[in-house]
Chains A and B, each alone.
Chain A
Amino acid sequence: MSDTQTLRQWLLSETPTSRRHAKLSALYQGWLSLRANTMAMIGLSILVALVLVAITAPIISPHDPFTQDLSNRLAPLGAEGHLFGTDSLGRDILSRLFYGARITLYIVALVALIAPIAGLLIGTVSGYIGGITDTILMRITDIFLAFPRLVLALAFVAALGAGIENAVLAISLTAWPPYARIARAETLTIRSSDFISAIKLQGAGPIRIITKHIWPLCISSLIVRVTLDMAGIILAAAGLGFLGLGAQPPSPEWGAMISEGRRFILDYWWVATVPGLAIFTVSLAFNLLGDGLRDLLDPKAGE
């Protein structure tokens, strides 16, 4: 590559010179499309901000989130030293929000790792192999689908005990069936396409076909779906927290914070409203990003 070529030109080159170059170039093109979508970029920046806040929570928090100050309880918005006021035990709401971002991200990351991967595995295997395997796997999926999500999660948490990890597990267990359905539907259309026939004619076995040829095509629609579902997952986790089955006090989980503020909602509305707004903002950010990713990764919808 010549020195006169800028990085941008190199990335947009029509004639990549190595495998790595081709990959980077494809990624950059995707980034450019995403960047053109203002709403998705708003969503993405909110999420990046959330990650930054979670990482730097100990530095940027004005107070310790667990220190109680009963003499200064239920301070209003903008009170001295407490931008978002304090809760019923005099803890700084802003600091608790910052620390709560960590918990939210933790839940999101764990669910996003477990549910779609389980769904992808079950869906693609079911769709590709077909026959009796398909029937059995899909009936199991149907059974899970038939329960309302929060009720099933409640049952799991009740059985496993309250706590964040169990809440995550419960949410994941209720979240995978739609992903399995999507992955299976995608697999059914991909399975009969010429490029799968072509690789079969090279003697490739089912494991290679599923992992190397079908997965890459299913993953994009799953990513879109997961991003769009994230809002629901955050809300479910907050719901469990609100019911006292998720994060336990004094953990600054946003749902649990709303639950605590509920008692004073009429006189001290901000105690419940501020974490509520935080949940709302992050959910919205995931939805915006998901919409943008759909335009980018799922060309069918755009036509």
Chain B
Amino acid sequence: MSMLSVKNLNVWFGKHSSRVDAVKSASFEVERGQSFGLVGESGSGKSTILRAITGLAPNWSGALSVDGEAIEKKRQKAFYKTVQMVFQDPYASLHPRHSVDQVLSETLHLHGFTNIDARVVKLLDDVGLGQKFRFRYPHQLSGGQRQRVAIARALAPDPTLLLLDEPTSALDVSVQAEILNLLADMREEHGLTYLMVSHDLSVVAHMCDNLAVMRNGEIVEILDVEALRSMQATHPYSQHLLQASV
């Protein structure tokens, strides 16, 4: 059974005449333990799919299911224990007045964990930050360190599906390498499934097993990473993207 199944997903913003269809009948499946990439240019609707899955974009139709269970419009607490998300901009995704410790403890508290102190320590070690960062505020951290905190927060409830929204596009290349390595390690250690959005084909080629190419809210092609590496995309738009990224 697939970890995530998206069938005929439509997502729109606004009402009536000002309605904008951001995603139009998108369908794909992500197997357990797999890493799936969504690729496209800005405005192609790739991030909107993630927001629809998590419920941050409330207007959607179609069938979404995680681990065989259909997602209801009103998500249960258990859903957030299974599905977590890492945001694009680590400068915006951490509360400016909350220390690392507060961010992680609150998350753990919300998911009903009891031995919070020990778990915060473990999470910080897992993402390679260590204890000396525990009581720092976001403004005392670099971009890469912030993204590590965001990853630790996403890992806190022990999820099985992690949604990654351009997790490295706001970072320098050397930091990007560290974060991508960390994400690869975490996937291996925790047996995670990834759904990763990126505009950078080489990042997706590095991280993912399969990918979908999106344009104007539609999935134009789904291909595996081998086909991507050997530049064997069939759809002209995918080919165009490939050409531009070489």
Contacts and interface: CB of A to CB of B under 8 A. Distances in A.
B57 to A, nearest CB: 10
A197 B137 contact: no
A201 B99 CA distance: 19
Contact of A202 (B80, B89, B101): B80
B54 A212 contact: no
Interface string A209-241: 000110011000000000000000000000000
Given A16-B135, A193-B92, A198-B85, A203 B99 contact: no
Nearest to A216: B97
Contacts of B77: 203
Contacts of B40: none
Contacts of B106: 199, 202, 204, 212
B45 interface: no
Interface residues of A, number: 25
A200 interface: yes
Contacts of B136: 14-16, 22
Chain B CB within 10 A, most for which of A14, A197, A213: A197
Interface string B126-165: 0000001101110010000000001001001100000000
Contact of B110 (A18, A22, A202): A202
A258 B56 CA distance: 59
Contact of B84 (A17, A199, A201): A201
Main secondary structure of the interface of B (DSSP, over half): loop
B14 interface: no
Query: In the complex, which range does the number of interface residues on chain B fall in?
Result: 20 to 34
B95 interface: yes
Main secondary structure of the interface of A (DSSP, over half): helix
Given A193-B92, A203-B110, A198 B87 contact: yes
Contacts of A19: 99, 101, 135
A212 B98 CA distance: 10
Given A15-B132, A202-B106, A217 B97 contact: yes
A14 B97 CA distance: 16
Contacts of A79: none
Contact of A17 (B83, B89, B135): B135
A63 interface: no
Contacts of B84: 201
Contacts of A216: 95, 97
A195 interface: yes
B140 A201 contact: no
A274 to B, nearest CB: 44
B95 A22 contact: no
B111 interface: yes
B202 interface: no
Given A15-B132, A26-B137, A217 B96 contact: yes
A198 B135 contact: no
A21 interface: yes
Contact of B80 (A18, A197, A203, A212): A203
Contact of B85 (A201, A203, A208): A201
Given A19-B101, A200-B56, A195 B135 contact: no
A267 interface: no
A161 B135 CA distance: 53
B80 A194 contact: no
A90 to B, nearest CB: 55
Contacts of B132: 15
B169 to A, nearest CB: 13
Interface string A10-35: 00001111110110001000000000
A207 to B, nearest CB: 13
A193 B133 CA distance: 24
Given A22-B101, A195-B94, A202-B106, 13 more contacts: A16-B136, A18-B135, A19-B101, A19-B135, A21-B135, A198-B87, A199-B95, A199-B106, A200-B55, A201-B80, A201-B83, A202-B156, A217-B97
The 10 A-B residue pairs whose C-beta atoms are closest, nearest first, are A22-B135, A16-B135, A194-B93, A194-B92, A15-B132, A203-B80, A195-B95, A194-B87, A202-B110, A203-B77
